[in-house]
Structure 1
Amino acid sequence: MSAEIETHQRPAGALAVSDGQTEWTPAQRAALEQIGVGDAPIGDQLVLLHQAQRTGLDPFTKQIYMIGRKTKESEKVGNAWVDKYVTKWTIQTGIDGYRVIARRIADRLGETLGYDDTQWCGADGVWRDVWLNQEPPAAAKVAVIRNGERFSAVARFASYAQTKRNGDLNQQWATMGDVMIAKCAEALALRRAYPQDLAGIYTAEEMGQADNPPVDVTATATVHSSTPAGPGEAERAEWLAWAHEEIARAADRETLGNLWRVIGEAVQQRLCTPVNGDSLRGQITERVKIMDAATTPAIDINPDTGEIIPDEVVAP
């Protein structure tokens, strides 16, 4: 049994999206600027509005969002092929958006919704309740229990992992591979449990692999050069696009604090210029201000650790 996604019960406030509006309000446009999508074409911004209305997901709490990715395209100029980077905007939801939709339907129908414990396995095929190895797991398994009926799904790491130009895992999949593949398995299980309600909606964790570039054989070969080299222009551009995406996607202050520290490390490794680093930290500061708009706390960021430290909440 399916249920129509409710879209009329929305939080009140200057950023609330109403079912009847046909364009973004000035306050909403200002918030879109702060979360990094103000430069997107108007048509893409209106599609984001439509999807927010259709799904009932809030674009300003990152339940649904728009990402501009630097994508390499090849264009033939004369007898030669020339590579160029263009920005393409796509609308995605995260696993939190899936959870909101599933919970809303369960509450509407008076159903129960639960999960079995997430499990991971390595190449040996043995399922474990926790993944402690340094190497990423081979697969993850999640089971959603809808009104007593169990919907299980397995996601293979090789099918979803996102890579860089040289074929290596990108930073998020390399450091949080167990978490990322578990999110993919959960999305698969939720879509099995709610096929009509989640049809056509895919999570960012699932779709990241769609942007995997072909392996750059030249870049792979030059790794063994006798002269050490710093990150190339393409790698820096890819990292910068990743950083913008992660800041826009971050749903809590702890994640933003971790990104603050990652940016500092990237500057030291010459993967990010100091100017871009300052710009990214400015975006993090603005994101925190938006998150805390309801309680209006004073914001302070420790420049050494990247920890975001709120002062006492100021009463409205």
Structure 2
Amino acid sequence: MNAITTFDLTSKQIALVKQTIAKDCNDEEFNLYMEVAKAKRLDPFLKQIIPMVFSKNNAEKRNMTIIISRDGQRVIAQRCGDYRPASKPPSYEFDPGLKGPLNPHGIVSATVFLWKQDPKSGEWYEVAGQSFWDEFAPIKEEWAKNEQTGKNYKTGNQTLDDSGNWARMPRLMIAKCAEMQALRAGWPEQFTGLYDEAELDRAKVIDLTASEVVEKERENHRMRAIGADNSITVTWGDNWALEKDPVGKFADEVMRFIKESTPETVAKWQDANREPLKRFWALQPGDALALKKEIEAAIARKPSRPANDELRNHPMMAG
């Protein structure tokens, strides 16, 4: 091992790390960063380990996260003695319907398989890591300024952040997230609390810490396991029973419902489905904004004729 790897740094080298690689760190953060680098035996000068400071100008939210580059990850894994890198390329799931400005290739997820050796039998088995595009891609809200109030507001539109590599190399970036997921799953002692930079690109644009991003992914994974990730539980007024509708069809179903219902029924439906509507906003903010306007217009309109369910009870229909 070279001098830096064994962490035999001179005072001049330590000062250089502070002035360059860790220039955003305060003293406490820098000390922590150097201790982690020492414990993991990683080289700061080779960018194997990098400190990333979030909310630098906000003392209450300020948070430093340790980034391990891909080279650093493999150095740590190789030292474990029970690790072998992937023997095949990442596998991808695509959906042509998702292809667009927010997802250039229509990627649903990437899965990476690493190899771990069983300490008892000596046999090798695969450790899978899977990452989903909609959980890690740095998609940010578009903001505009209200000329009258001078305040910024969300337009309801979204864009894929193009300051990094997600727009240029989307498959590589989501695969890096999947590989780190596999490393944490197979070697938790070595990789818990450490992150790949690709995992944090989303955190940069939505103002979350690294741990919050990963916890959100775990929560979404649990939601997928119970079939709740791509559906919305809603009531359509038929005795107000609950049913699940796919997210992709939710807006169309709402439009059909409000066209067939009176303003009073739509208002009652909106009040009964506040939480499902919030969930739809979180999943599809652009569509949710348009749908909100349609619902408000439906409630405000004057019915030109009785709705179907009221027509049967109209005096003119009495036998």
Structure having the higher Rg:
2
| TM-score, normalising length: structure 2 | 0.49
What TM-score results when the alignment is normalised by the length of structure 1?
0.49
- Between 1 and 2, higher relative CO (CA 8 Å, sep ≥ 6) is seen in 1
